[in-house]
């Protein structure tokens, strides 16, 4: 292969009081897929923001060479003109505009400000074909799934004649099927001569597509490792990322399982808009004291919908079913009722549903159980501070104080704050929805320990996760869901990834024959 | 309760708390949390000093101070309620009309039906609560945007005022009622050159304020929190003492503390404490900051929003009464543009357009900035035309400064 298409030399970027990047070097060969690994807060996103001009030239030290020429981007537009396009983890699409309008947003086919719809639509159709998305370009973004939206983002990048495509955790929100397609597309683009940088936590993905891996830690380059034909040195990458061995990624535990604490029977939920569609269909499950039970399922299987519906009807319309706590039927019609019956739900979407990002750690932790630090409606702020401090210590929340804004914490620390909030509420049943999504390996290990401790205290824990190794490493028993139904219940000893995956994909309709429908939308009338 | 557990040891990262830091950093951090409020306090002081110079000392004459309080009392009352509504992530455009409506209703009750004024006052506040509940119902339980509901309310209550008064002013009010706006603390005790009760009140306020500061500091220390260096703390105490004493002496050398000031003081302390330390106050911030997350944490957001509007209704009624008492008449023209002044006060005082941010004290500071500008410019002889232009620019600058500041800190 030719020389490097991109070289970043001695990049140093400081924020007030923090050195986010110090002396980082990155070299991407032309036509390769280059992976960047690192814990959250290692500086991956900052580095990409420097590269794409979000942080303009002059706000950092060091130099950037693209195709051999020094670059001084003053904004994103400047870097895009050179063919460097970044696709962020949170997609930047306008939901109520069409696919075609989104692809050419800011880059319209127009003459004197008047858009040529003919050229827009034909060009969009051609780009969609290139990324393998079979949708009408006039479909609204809001009407297609996340996987397809990701492809639209890539089509948008192609419209800008991208030479170096940067993907920031592109598969974080995708199911396995969509992830596989996306990675295939990356390999295809590579064959067309487009270089690519992928930021990812998933080592198996990196092993599949990447040619080399650069590991960042604490704002420094640790090393760049070529990916050989025989795969990657996973241990070496993990060690590089966290700087320590992770032999016990999952805590050792000897479960002491008691009586059934929490049971859901025959729970059925309709889609909030499309009432003909059952998002959850007759689901039943039980969790016992001291037990960690998993729910495995692909995206769209109805796991989150089941949990949120049970927790105060926070999703859709429940049309039937019972919730039992200690064998007694209880009403969980509102969130306060659910909390009152000792149920806690830790959301998968901590930024939008879990935290008040503009408020501090202490007040986020106490929000769901303010009464515990209050007398007759008045909050004892010192008691509250003490409580928050104790969680900061026990959960190892890394922040200067409990008065730090949660919006400024890393993903792992934010997740610890959300967990603290619900542990403080003192529930008997904890439903943890993707408790380790988007957080680094070190924080994951800590959260696994917290989950194990909760079970050891006799809580009933229900874990929803898309990562099968996580469920296998953590749970005593695993349910599988597909298309809104519970399709299996497997004891830990009898479970492995293949058997779970088989149960997660069982369906009335033969899905393997038509992968297009497997994406997540069984929404026929 | 907090559990003890064995979490795996992690090496201290860059985010680990550093206890030893320079005074400058500590001060900078203390300021950064409240840039807008401290900034506005400084701006307020600056404006006061400027106008004091430009008016050759008229601004801070005891008579003018008293005027200033009585002229701005009703806007400040509205600003408190507005701040709470804005913190919850809403807006209320109807308060000016509602204030007029309540003033008119009180006039009808007292003048036409000879109701005793305390009874009329109670009824008037009740009318405010009902009007607030009406709007809160549509906003919180039906889900119509507050902008629309209160825009409708603005028309509704203005029309209602005109219907009630049939286009005419109703006057005069009983003496007792007028006192709400033009009255002072009674004279007692031996004849000094100062107003005795006001002096006592000032000293009382000072004692409580200093005690609170000291107690807060001691408690903060006992929880191992970072403290301002002793020197700065003493300077802060000295500044508080000086401000309270000067203000007290100024008022006491004239008629003493106006009744409106006492009402305002009670509202400031009461609502300030409510928003900081009560569960419902906390829930209001949580809803404004992230409503879906607050709901999933068990916050009854509909009820809280509903109550915020009921409260706004009551405060709008109170403002309407104070204004009517000051005018000594219920008129169809009352309360015009009050909502805009109150909203401007809240935003100047640190509210965020998206909700979740702001303090009651901030609303008062914002209202005072506007009030001093109004008063000062009138004294200097700036016409109302230019006054509006300047106030518009001040609002824009205050919020613009904050947005700029946040961006600098945030990036």
Q: CA separation (Å) from A399 to A22, A361, A385, A427, B223?
A: 21, 9, 14, 26, 16
Pairing of strands A220-226, A278-288: unpaired
Cα-trace Rg, chain A: 24
In this predicted structure, the answer to whether residue B32 has a pLDDT above a threshold of 70 is no
In this predicted structure, the answer to whether residue B242 has a pLDDT above a threshold of 80 is yes
In this predicted structure, the answer to whether residue A354 has a pLDDT above a threshold of 50 is yes
For residue B189, the SS3 value is coil
| Residues 287-316 of chain A whose Cβ lies under 8 A from any Cβ of chain B | 311-312, 314
| Confidence category of residue B17, pLDDT binned at 50, 70, 90 | very low
- DSSP codes of every residue in A12-70: EEEETTEEEEEEEEEEEETT-EEEEE--TTSSHHHHHHHHHTSS-TTSSEEEEEETTEE
ipTM higher than the 0.85 cut: no
- Neighbour tally for B243: CB within 10 Å: 13
Contact between A305 and A279 under an 8 Å Cβ cutoff? The reply is yes
In this predicted structure, the answer to whether residue A290 has a pLDDT above a threshold of 90 is yes
d(CA B62, CA B47): 18
For residue B355, the SS3 value is coil
pLDDT top residue among A522 and A224: A224
Helical packing angle, B230-252 and B196-222, nearest 10°: 160
Q: CA separation (Å) from B269 to B80, B114, B154, B273?
A: 11, 34, 29, 6
In this predicted structure, the answer to whether residue A245 has a pLDDT above a threshold of 60 is no
Contact between B256 and B179 under an 8 Å Cβ cutoff? The reply is no
Please provide the average confidence, as pLDDT, over all residues in chain B.
Answer: 88
Does the beta carbon of A36 lie under 8 angstroms from any beta carbon of chain B? no
Cα nearest neighbour of B297 on chain A: A368
Q: Which of B336, B338, B387, B331 is nearest to B367 (CA)?
A: B338
**Predicted pLDDT of residue A331:** 94
**CATH code for the part of the protein at A4-242:** 3.40.50.300
Q: Which of A141, A505, A21 is nearest to A296 (CA)?
A: A505
Task: Specify which residues A268 forms β-bridges with.
Answer: A320
pLDDT tens figures, B164-211? 999 899 989 999 999 998 889 888 878 877 888 999 999 999 999 999
**Range picked from A274-283, A394-403, B3-12, B281-290 for highest mean pLDDT:** B281-290
Among A220, A336, A356, most B C-beta atoms within 10 A, so best to mutate, is A356
**Predicted pLDDT of residue A201:** 67
Contact between B116 and B178 under an 8 Å Cβ cutoff? The reply is no
Residue tagged 């889900």 (tokens): B143
**CATH number of the domain at A257-342+427-505, out of 3.40.50.620, 1.10.3720.10, 3.40.50.300, 2.40.50.140?**
3.40.50.300
Q: Note the Cα B65 to chain centre separation in Å.
A: 18
pTM of the shown model: 0.77
Question: CA quadruple A508, A511, A516, A521: dihedral positive or negative?
Answer: positive
Closest CA of chain A from B97, distance in Å: 33
Which residues lie closer than 8 Å to A148 by C-beta, 6 or more apart?
A133, A135, A519
- DSSP codes of every residue in B190-254: S--SS-HHHHHHHHHHHHHHHHHHHHHHHHHHHTT-----HHHHHHHHHHHHHHHHHHHHHHHTT
The structure tokens listed for B13 are 């990262």
In this predicted structure, the answer to whether residue A299 has a pLDDT above a threshold of 90 is no
d(CA B261, CA B273): 18
CATH 3.40.50.300 residue ranges of chain A are 4-242, 257-342+427-505
Does the beta carbon of B226 lie under 8 angstroms from any beta carbon of chain A? yes
CA–CA–CA angle A418, A396, B31 (5° rounding):
80
- Neighbour tally for B404: CB within 10 Å: 10
Task: Encode A386-399 in three state secondary structure.
Answer: HHHHHHHHHCCCCC
In this predicted structure, the answer to whether residue A226 has a pLDDT above a threshold of 90 is no
User: Is residue A486 within a helix (H) or strand (E), and if so which, with residue range?
Assistant: strand A485-491
If you count them, how many residues does chain A have? 525
Does the beta carbon of B19 lie under 8 angstroms from any beta carbon of chain A? no
Among candidates B280, B289, B292 on the partner chain, residue whose Cβ is nearest the Cβ of A358: B289
Whether residue B172 has a cis bond before it, omega within 30° of 0: yes
pLDDT tens figures, B360-390? 999 999 999 999 999 999 999 999 899 999 9
d(CA B286, CA B88): 8
CB contact under 8 A, B300 and A18: no
Range of lowest pLDDT (A130-144, A246-260, B108-122, B195-209): A246-260
| Confidence category of residue B24, pLDDT binned at 50, 70, 90 | low
Q: Which residues of A are less than 8 Å from B279 in CB distance?
A: 370-371, 374, 377-379
In degrees rounded to 5, what are phi and psi of residue B144? -80, 135
What's the average model confidence in pLDDT over A448-458? 95
Range of lowest pLDDT (A199-203, A247-251, B292-296): A247-251
| Confidence category of residue A6, pLDDT binned at 50, 70, 90 | very high
Q: CA separation (Å) from B144 to A359, A430, B139, B150?
A: 27, 35, 5, 10
pLDDT tens figures, B67-111? 999 999 999 999 999 999 999 999 999 999 999 999 999 999 999
Q: Which residues of A are less than 8 Å from B31 in CB distance?
A: none
**Predicted pLDDT of residue A1:** 47
């Amino acid at each position: 292969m030719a020389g490097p298409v991109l070289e970043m030399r001695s990049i140093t970027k400081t924020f007030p009081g923090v050195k986010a990047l110090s002396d980082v070097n990155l070299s991407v060969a032309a036509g390769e897929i280059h992976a960047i690994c690192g814990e959250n807060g290692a500086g991956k996103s900052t580095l990409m923001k420097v590269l794409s001009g979000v942080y303009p030239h002059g706000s950092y030290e060091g130099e950037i060479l693209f195709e051999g020429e020094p670059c001084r981007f003053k904004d994103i537009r400047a870097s895009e003109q050179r063919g460097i396009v970044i696709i962020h983890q949170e997609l930047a699409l306008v939901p109520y505009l069409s696919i075609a309008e989104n692809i050419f947003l800011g880059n319209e086919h127009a003459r004197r400000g008047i858009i040529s719809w003919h050229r827009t639509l034909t060009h969009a159709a051609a780009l969609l074909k290139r990324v393998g998305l079979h949708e009408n370009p006039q479909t609204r973004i809001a009407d297609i799934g996340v996987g397809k939206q990701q492809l639209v983002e890539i089509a948008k990048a192609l419209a800008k004649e991208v030479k170096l495509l940067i993907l920031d955790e592109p598969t974080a929100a995708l199911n396995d099927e969509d992830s596989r397609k996306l990675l295939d597309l990356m390999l295809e683009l590579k064959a067309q001569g487009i270089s690519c940088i992928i930021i990812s936590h998933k080592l198996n993905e990196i092993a599949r597509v990447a040619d080399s891996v650069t590991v960042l830690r604490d704002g420094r380059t640790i090393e760049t490792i070529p990916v050989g034909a025989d795969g990657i040195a996973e241990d070496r990458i993990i060690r590089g990322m966290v700087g320590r061995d992770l032999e016990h990624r999952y805590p050792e535990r000897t479960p002491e399982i008691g009586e059934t604490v929490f049971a859901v029977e025959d729970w059925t939920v309709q889609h909030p808009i499309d009432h003909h569609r059952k998002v959850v269909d007759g689901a039943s499950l039980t969790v016992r004291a001291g037990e960690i039970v998993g729910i495995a399922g692909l995206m769209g299987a109805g796991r989150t919908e089941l949990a949120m519906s049970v927790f105060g009807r926070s999703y859709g319309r429940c049309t039937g079913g019972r919730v039992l706590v200690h064998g007694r039927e209880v009403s969980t019609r509102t969130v306060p009722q659910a909390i009152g019956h000792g149920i806690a739900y830790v959301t998968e979407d901590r930024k939008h549903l879990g935290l008040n990002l503009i408020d501090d750690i202490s007040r986020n932790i106490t929000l769901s159980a303010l009464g515990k630090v209050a007398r007759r409606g008045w909050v004892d702020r010192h008691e509250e501070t003490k409580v928050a401090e104790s969680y900061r210590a026990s959960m190892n929340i890394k922040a200067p104080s409990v008065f730090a804004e949660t919006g400024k914490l890393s993903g792992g620390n934010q997740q610890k704050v959300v967990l603290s909030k619900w542990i403080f509420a003192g529930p008997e049943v904890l439903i943890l929805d993707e408790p380790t999504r988007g957080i680094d390996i070190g924080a994951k290990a800590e959260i696994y320990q917290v989950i194990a401790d909760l079970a050891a205290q006799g809580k009933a824990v229900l874990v929803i996760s898309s990562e099968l190794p996580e469920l296998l490493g953590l749970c005593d028993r695993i349910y599988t869901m597909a298309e809104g139904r519970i399709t299996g219940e497997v004891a830990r000893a009898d479970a492995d990834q293949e058997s779970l995956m088989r149960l997660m994909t069982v369906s009335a309709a033969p899905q393997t024959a038509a992968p297009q429908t497997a994406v997540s939308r069984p929404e026929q009338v | 309760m907090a559990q003890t557990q064995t979490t795996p040891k992690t090496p201290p990262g860059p985010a680990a708390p550093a206890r030893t830091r320079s005074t400058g950093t500590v001060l900078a951090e203390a300021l950064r949390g409240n840039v807008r409020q401290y900034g506005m306090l400084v701006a307020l002081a600056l404006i006061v000093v400027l106008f004091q110079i430009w008016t050759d000392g008229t601004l801070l004459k005891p008579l003018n101070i008293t005027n200033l309080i009585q002229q701005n009392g009703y806007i400040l009352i509205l600003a408190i309620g507005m701040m709470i509504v804005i913190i919850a992530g809403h807006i209320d455009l109807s308060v000016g009309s509602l204030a007029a409506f309540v003033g008119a209703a009180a006039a009808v009750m007292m003048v036409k039906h000879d109701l005793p004024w305390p009874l009329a006052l109670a009824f008037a506040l009740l009318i405010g609560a009902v009007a607030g509940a009406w709007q809160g119902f549509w906003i919180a339980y039906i889900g119509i945007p507050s902008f629309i509901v209160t825009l409708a309310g603005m028309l509704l209550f203005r029309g209602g005022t005109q219907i009630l008064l049939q286009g005419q002013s109703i006057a005069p009010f009983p003496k007792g009622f007028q006192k709400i706006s033009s009255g002072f603390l009674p004279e007692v005790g031996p004849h000094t050159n100062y107003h005795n009760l006001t002096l006592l009140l000032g000293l009382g306020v000072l004692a409580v304020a200093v005690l609170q500061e000291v107690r807060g500091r001691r408690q903060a220390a006992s929880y191992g929190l970072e403290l301002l260096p002793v020197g700065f703390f003493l300077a802060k105490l000295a500044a508080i003492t000086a401000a309270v004493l000067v203000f007290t002496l100024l008022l006491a050398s004239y008629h003493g503390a106006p009744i409106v000031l006492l009402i305002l003081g009670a509202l400031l302390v009461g609502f300030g404490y409510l928003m900081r330390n009560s569960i419902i106050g906390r829930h209001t911030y949580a809803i404004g900051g992230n409503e879906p997350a607050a709901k999933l944490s068990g916050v009854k957001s509909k009820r809280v929003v509903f109550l915020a509007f009921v409260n706004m209704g009551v405060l709008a009624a109170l403002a309407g009464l104070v204004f009517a008492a000051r005018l000594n008449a219920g008129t169809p023209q009352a309360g015009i543009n009050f909502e805009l002044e109150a909203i401007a006060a809240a935003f100047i005082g640190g509210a965020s357009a998206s909700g979740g941010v702001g303090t009651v004290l901030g609303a008062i500071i914002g209202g005072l900035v506007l009030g001093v500008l109004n008063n000062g410019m009138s004294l200097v002889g700036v016409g109302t035309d230019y006054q509006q232009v300047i106030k518009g620019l001040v609002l824009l600058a205050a919020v613009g400064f904050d947005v700029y500041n946040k961006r600098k800190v945030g990036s």
